Structure 1
Amino acid sequence: MFLNTFSISEKTVRTALKKKMPSGTVETEKRGGRQDHLQEEDKQRRDKIKAHIDRFPRMESHYCRSKSTRDYLHSDLNQKKMYEMFLAECCVPEGLSASYTTYCDVLKSQNISFHNPKKDQCKICENFRKGDSEKKKELMCMYEQHNKEKYAVRKIKEQAKNNTESNVQVAVFDLQQVIYLPKSNDNQLFYKRRLSNYNFTIYELKSKNCHCYTWHEGQGKRGSSEIATCVRTYLENLNTAGIHEVILFADGCPGQNKNSIIATMLLHSVQNLGNIKRIKLLYFEAYHGQSEGDSAHSAISTAIERVGDLLVPSQLIPVFRLARRKNPYSVHTLQHSDFQDYKTLANHLRIRSVREDDQGHDVVWLDMREVMVQKTDRDKLFFKTSHQQESYRSITLKRKWLSALDCNMPSKLYSKPPKISKEKYDDLMSLCKAPLPMVRVAEYVSFFESLPHSS
């Protein structure tokens, strides 16, 4: 009756009873699955793949350094190239095979990408487009305001671009993604930390002239004071040319462009450069930067790819200059002694401690869409929190601190060249002094040897 009720055979019941454990449960199924010795081989294989991946130095994200949890490898790497290097260096000598699928699976589990994300996708726009009706209703006001700001700043830029006054200069500026040297197709290079090189571009919208300010990490970092120094150098050239008003556009990166340090530099410049009467700095709406300077970055990146091996920073200068044959880019190299400490100047002016504007409203630097300074208002910083505003809000600095503006130039940012890490220096030296060195020219070897580094 029992067997017929459950429609099972007697053998099934007897087998279950044989597998009954003292606890009253039935022991687990032992058929199928991966055998222990094969599981151990799988673990060894994956550990070997992970060890190979860990040999590649990680790069820092250009656009989301403070937010990204991903690691980035050199953009000239890819999964296939890494797998071929793995087979050549790891599997063949020891006979431990691994499929391409397994390698890619382990690589994916390490949360690694091969290039720095450009954040082309706007979070507000994407959430609105992909959201359901309730989500769109919730985001409607924010989305509409976001679009209004996006188109407003583009309209302002187009109007400024069409300004025919000869004493008004309009330009956009931006920092290109980091360029790592040495650059070569030599496989040993992918396992080494390389020297970071920076290229800050200022692109003039009327003349289409482009100025490149370049340095490497052995001369300076890429913070606000370094960016402010580049812009100040450019403003000095405009002052010599007799320009009266400067209108600048930039993205709203708070660590580089949108902060009190850049505002301090503008305030100091307009008071100390005789011809320039007014400077405006407008910020593109987040995720919707529309910079003509991107064309220069693209042209330079293409030129670097085509030129072949590049070993030292001095080789970048002709590549930058000739990346555009017609109307070549102007290249300015910077040394550590060229950078000014605008952060300390901002502290002297107490501008970093300002919490309220002249109308008693809170001052939030990240909310600013435009900053304006003019020679006639020595103690004021004007700003807008929307490109649709007609009038400026203002911050008045206390007169007792304004004497800091009287200095012709701020103090030096670096008393001596900054040091690169010991690990990076050792990697660079291994490229110069290996049994089969990649860097063989004595002048180039001497350059890398002379780099200041941590002990």
Structure 2
Amino acid sequence: MNLSIFSPKKDQCGLCTSHPFGQISDEEYKLHIDKKNNARDEKIKDKCSAAGNQCHVITMDVESVKLSPILKASALYYKTKLVVHNFTLYNLNTREATCYWWDETEGELVASTFATCVVDFISRKFQDNLPIIIYSDGCTNQNRNAMMANALLQVSVSKKITVFQKFLEKGHTQMECDSVHSAIESELKNKTIHVPSDYIKMCQNARNKQPYETIYLSHNFFKDFSVRKNQAYPSIRSGSKAGDPCVTDLRALEYDPSGKIFYKLKHGDHEWNELPAKPIRSSDATNYPLYTERLQITARKFKDLQELKSVIPIEHHMYYDSIPHK
């Protein structure tokens, strides 16, 4: 009957796949595996603490880029489409997940957009004094940067709670929030998307028993955490001279309600060290809006979207007409 067991596709770590071919040394490979195992052990330990109501643990990541529209019409094949993003935060203890959606006219993929979503999630979801532990990959543009650090420090000071930010090893960043993206991908199979807001319904239907909280964002939602005069810490580098550890060497950050940031270069029972860059101002600064208006798309993309209106229901034409463009 030509039947076989299905093998799921899984991205493999580039460093791990290079080792069998002699591209990296055994020592470098062993160090990489040790870092991966330490990060995994740390996450398992924190997950057990969350189950015992000793802390809150969340994982976060951005889903692969989505497009609008998505149709079976052949007219779409050679046309550029609108880009849509989904940033997901997942509570390991309650299994609650929140998906923040926006399209490229409402916001970019910059540190302040992700920081705004994280601050909003923590502010709305956690009302007790338990520590909050956030797990993510180590992407410097998204998670491991001064903008995100100052945003979390503001939350820590304002809510008087300790916030921890921990990073998994590159190439081994599988997390519980990935299950949300997988469920959404399954729901999107053989479905049509006419406008970006259609993703909201798909996301809500992706899990029946405990539907995901789905929020579609506009440009006026995002705050700007990149303004230097509002940052308590202009840098989160753990060293101050050439040869010292840099930002990518950080494995964990602790945001203390006193307004200080501490760091670790290794997971486990190692001591926390205060960042050498002392806070230069208080962490309760007012954050300005990141955008004052919707962002423009290119003239070519607007032209392509206008031509695609011939295969899109007429009730959605006004949306594509209203898109700002160059």
| TM beyond 0.5 | yes
Q: Could you tell me how far apart the structure 1 residues matched to 2:123 and 2:306 are?
A: 39
Amino acid at match of 2:250: M
Q: 1:362 to 1:268 in 2, by over 3 A?
A: farther
Q: Could you tell me how far apart the structure 2 residues matched to 1:143 and 1:394 are?
A: 30
Q: Could you tell me how far apart the structure 1 residues matched to 2:151 and 2:159 are?
A: 12
Task: State the match for 2:92 in structure 1.
Answer: 205
Gaps of 5+ in 2: 1-8
Q: 1:384 to 1:451 in 2, by over 3 A?
A: same
Amino acid at match of 2:202: V
Amino acid at match of 2:217: L
Q: Could you tell me how far apart the structure 2 residues matched to 1:315 and 1:448 are?
A: 14
Task: Say whether residues 1:406 and 2:288 are aligned partners.
Answer: no
Task: State the match for 2:25 in structure 1.
Answer: 139
- SS where residue 311 of structure 2 aligns? coil
TM-aligned CA deviation for residue 356 of structure 1: 3.3
Task: State the match for 2:37 in structure 1.
Answer: 151
Structure 1 stretch 138-147 or stretch 219-228: which is displaced more? 138-147
Task: Say whether residues 1:419 and 2:296 are aligned partners.
Answer: yes
Task: Say whether residues 1:281 and 2:165 are aligned partners.
Answer: yes
TM-aligned CA deviation for residue 392 of structure 1: 1.5
Task: State the match for 1:94 in structure 2.
Answer: none
TM-aligned CA deviation for residue 183 of structure 1: 0.4
Q: Could you tell me how far apart the structure 1 residues matched to 2:267 and 2:53 are?
A: 25
Task: State the match for 1:374 in structure 2.
Answer: 256
TM-aligned CA deviation for residue 355 of structure 1: 6.9
> Would the aligned equivalents of 1:169 and 1:243 in 2 still touch at CA under 8 Å?
no
> Would the aligned equivalents of 1:167 and 1:243 in 2 still touch at CA under 8 Å?
no
Which of 121, 125, 138 is the matching residue for 1:252? 138
Q: 1:235 to 1:287 in 2, by over 3 A?
A: same
Task: State the match for 1:13 in structure 2.
Answer: none
TM-aligned CA deviation for residue 214 of structure 1: 0.7
Q: Could you tell me how far apart the structure 2 residues matched to 1:336 and 1:248 are?
A: 25
Q: 1:346 to 1:235 in 2, by over 3 A?
A: farther
Task: Say whether residues 1:315 and 2:198 are aligned partners.
Answer: yes
> Would the aligned equivalents of 2:111 and 2:141 in 1 still touch at CA under 8 Å?
yes
* Superposition pairs of residues 195-274 of structure 1, within 5 angstroms: 195-239=82-126, 241-274=127-160
Q: 1:243 to 1:332 in 2, by over 3 A?
A: farther
Which of 267, 270, 277 is the matching residue for 1:387? 267
> Would the aligned equivalents of 2:166 and 2:251 in 1 still touch at CA under 8 Å?
yes
TM-aligned CA deviation for residue 388 of structure 1: 4.0
* Superposition pairs of residues 165-180 of structure 1, within 5 angstroms: 165-166=52-53, 168-180=55-67
* Superposition pairs of residues 27-38 of structure 1, within 5 angstroms: none
> Would the aligned equivalents of 1:260 and 1:346 in 2 still touch at CA under 8 Å?
no
Deviations along 1:400-428, whole A, 9 cap, x unmatched?
Answer: x313x223x41111011111111111111
> Would the aligned equivalents of 1:198 and 1:214 in 2 still touch at CA under 8 Å?
yes
> Would the aligned equivalents of 1:264 and 1:345 in 2 still touch at CA under 8 Å?
no
Task: State the match for 1:324 in structure 2.
Answer: 207
TM-aligned CA deviation for residue 348 of structure 1: 3.9
Q: 1:346 to 1:325 in 2, by over 3 A?
A: farther
Which of 208, 227, 232 is the matching residue for 1:344? 227
Q: Could you tell me how far apart the structure 2 residues matched to 1:325 and 1:212 are?
A: 15
Task: State the match for 1:447 in structure 2.
Answer: 319
Amino acid at match of 1:381: I
Q: Could you tell me how far apart the structure 2 residues matched to 1:340 and 1:333 are?
A: 16
Task: State the match for 1:120 in structure 2.
Answer: 11
Amino acid at match of 1:120: D
Task: State the match for 1:438 in structure 2.
Answer: 311
Q: Could you tell me how far apart the structure 2 residues matched to 1:148 and 1:193 are?
A: 43
Deviations along 1:281-338, whole A, 9 cap, x unmatched?
Answer: 11110101121111111110111114x2211112111110110111111111211011
Deviations along 1:215-272, whole A, 9 cap, x unmatched?
Answer: 1111001111111111111110134x32521111101112211222211111121112
- SS where residue 343 of structure 1 aligns? coil
Deviations along 1:89-124, whole A, 9 cap, x unmatched?
Answer: xxxxxxxxxxxxxxxxxxxxxxxxxxxxx9922232
Please, what TM-score do these two structures have when normalized by structure 1?
A: 0.66
- SS where residue 99 of structure 2 aligns? strand
Q: 1:353 to 1:328 in 2, by over 3 A?
A: closer
- SS where residue 331 of structure 1 aligns? strand
- Going by fraction, where is helix more abundant, 1 or 2? 1
Q: Could you tell me how far apart the structure 1 residues matched to 2:141 and 2:267 are?
A: 21
Which of 157, 160, 177 is the matching residue for 1:293? 177
Q: Could you tell me how far apart the structure 1 residues matched to 2:154 and 2:73 are?
A: 48
* Structure showing greater Rg: 1
* Identity level (%): 28
Please, what TM-score do these two structures have when normalized by structure 2?
A: 0.90
> Would the aligned equivalents of 1:346 and 1:352 in 2 still touch at CA under 8 Å?
no
> Would the aligned equivalents of 1:381 and 1:396 in 2 still touch at CA under 8 Å?
no
- SS where residue 406 of structure 1 aligns? coil
Gaps of 5+ in 1: 1-117
TM-aligned CA deviation for residue 441 of structure 1: 2.3
Runs (4+) off by over 6 Å: none
Q: Could you tell me how far apart the structure 1 residues matched to 2:196 and 2:56 are?
A: 30
Task: State the match for 2:6 in structure 1.
Answer: none
Q: Could you tell me how far apart the structure 1 residues matched to 2:236 and 2:145 are?
A: 12
TM-aligned CA deviation for residue 171 of structure 1: 1.0
